[in-house]
Structure 1
Amino acid sequence: MSAVTSELRDDGILVVTMSQPPVNALTVQGWFDVAEALNAVAANPAVKVVVLRAEGKGFNAGVDIKEMQNTTGFDALLGANKGCFAAFKAVYECAVPVIAAVNGFCVGGGVGLVGNADIVVASDDAYFGVPEVNQGALGAATHMARLVPQQMMRSLYFTAATIPASELHRFGSIYRLVPRDELDAAALAVAAEIAAKDGRVIRAAKEALNGIEPVDVNHSYRFEQGFTYELNLMGVSDELRDDFAGTEKGKK
């Protein structure tokens, strides 16, 4: 069963749901499934807007480290990097606006998805972070920089600290901040406002806004990934991922 499901409502809102228990840390296939669901929008004019959401206690915990550490060679590492790139790119280049509905934790790859979304709606228990340095990787600074000011991004990146949704709402990065039980309704309400517009205009507007971006997010993120490959070749990443996997196992 796929960790990603899609439902097209009669009003033109496509709801894409991630569900990979226990923490929505997506496998390699899961990242490509997200990309496939969003890329398919281009060929379906019935879709007016996308709501990207998750089931469970948190939105997304990034890459499945256990899959990576339990796979021989570099196939899982290469797959995760390519899968994340594909998923983030698909969110950014989706033919219609993407609204991220974020609950609970949103870390690592989750920030990559949300940072590339057009609109963010979050529950008041949500928090965001890029703990990549703890696992010997780099990435998603490109996307965190779209959510917070530059020095704040650097502080969060170097310390691997998290930031609550209330702070992002203060920065204006989060459009609506609501109680957890109102999250889906709030995201759908924003989506309905967009879906009520002429879809041809909205698709043109999405392409136009991407065209005036000051930073090429695809190139920027790919540049970050190059350093992740270097750290893996040095053996640093594998050592830190083993430590992380062991710590998580010890918690059970």
Structure 2
Amino acid sequence: MDGLTDLEGFAVEIAEHVAVVTMRRPPVNAQNRRFREEIIRIFDTLHDLPDVRAIILTGEGRAFSAGADLKERPGLANEPGAYPRHNRLVRASFDCVMECGTPVIAAINGPAIGAGCVLALCCDILVASESAFLSMTEVDVGLAGGVRHVIRHFGQSDARLMIHTARRITGPELLRMNVVSACVPDAALMDTARGIAREIAAKVPLATRAAKRSFTLTEELPLHDGYRYEQSQTVALSTTEDTKEAQRAFAEKRKPVFKGR
């Protein structure tokens, strides 16, 4: 598959309009430069594949992602310009998930720590296994980062508790805090994520992409401006073939056939 070959740290499978992106960098899917370059390539490619209508991101083995590979960090301080380049790549490795036009489901199968936690929080829908946890451990190693992503999903007190203590927030706690949409037994995680993905894939593809754009673009807008933008999306969608097909299928009580236009 063009753009998804020669991957070292990932596997990508596409079937029935759903792409499953699996992090495969044992033992804990730590994120290094190659990892970040590959995840950008993967999500940029999936963004442009009209046959992919939902994406699941998960980890192989016992971890979702244990965060940044700290073995790379010592050299950054000794080379002029190394930190700006590094930070730009790190941001892009998160932005590619948030900016991908296709909804992304995080199937959090185990520890998601530091940059791994942020990566999960960049996804559109989060589901966790009972043995999974999120943790921001930057204060334990004298670093900082991730606060802005954390406060998108956690309440103010819980966000501060998480950042200041580096505490592990387990799957059941994440459900109680309304951070994840589901917390299920480990063996049921991927079936749960696939079920959500199939539901999304059955909807009007252009409409789900428009909805994701609305979430991304209106998050920081005032209510009036945000809703006005959403209305413009509805107007644009109303003339598309897929919207007309969805409305005909609803009236005729049959399954719609979408063409992505």
How high is the TM-score relative to the length of structure 1?
Answer: 0.79
Q: Secondary structure at the match of 2:25?
A: coil
Structure 1 match to 2:17: 12
Which of 32, 36, 49 matches 2:41? 36
Which of 206, 214, 228 matches 1:208? 214
Alignment of 1:155 with 2:148, yes or no, is: no
CA RMSD of superposed structures (Å): 1.8
Alignment of 1:52 with 2:33, yes or no, is: no
Aligned partners of 2:77 and 2:83 also within 8 Å: no
**% identical aligned pairs:** 34
CA distance in 2, matches of 1:127, 1:160: 12
CA distance in 2, matches of 1:192, 1:72: 46
Aligned partners of 1:133 and 1:160 also within 8 Å: yes
Alignment of 1:198 with 2:204, yes or no, is: yes
Which of 63, 67, 73 matches 1:62? 67
Aligned partners of 2:139 and 2:163 also within 8 Å: yes
Which of 179, 182, 186 matches 1:173? 179
Q: Greater CA radius of gyration, 1 or 2?
A: 2
The letter for the 2-side match of 1:162 is: R
The letter for the 2-side match of 1:150 is: Q
Query: Cα offset for 1:76?
Result: 6.6
Query: Cα offset for 1:78?
Result: 4.7
Q: Secondary structure at the match of 1:145?
A: helix
Change (3 A) 1:167 1:73: same
CA distance in 2, matches of 1:173, 1:197: 24
Deviations 1:182-211 (A, max 9, x none): 111111111000001111111111111212
CA distance in 2, matches of 1:186, 1:84: 29
Change (3 A) 1:181 1:80: farther
Map residues 222-241 of structure 1 onto 2, 5 A cutoff. none
Aligned partners of 1:111 and 1:143 also within 8 Å: no
Which runs of structure 1 show a deviation greater than 6 angstroms over 4 or more consecutive aligned residues? none
The letter for the 2-side match of 1:96 is: T
How high is the TM-score relative to the length of structure 2?
Answer: 0.77
The letter for the 1-side match of 2:114 is: G
Gaps of 5+ in 2: 1-6, 222-261
Q: Secondary structure at the match of 1:146?
A: helix
Structure 1 match to 2:130: 124
CA distance in 2, matches of 1:36, 1:124: 31
CA distance in 1, matches of 2:82, 2:131: 32
Aligned partners of 2:105 and 2:126 also within 8 Å: yes
Q: Secondary structure at the match of 2:153?
A: coil
Name which structure has the greater RCO, CA cutoff 8 Å, separation 6+. Answer: 1
CA distance in 1, matches of 2:142, 2:84: 15
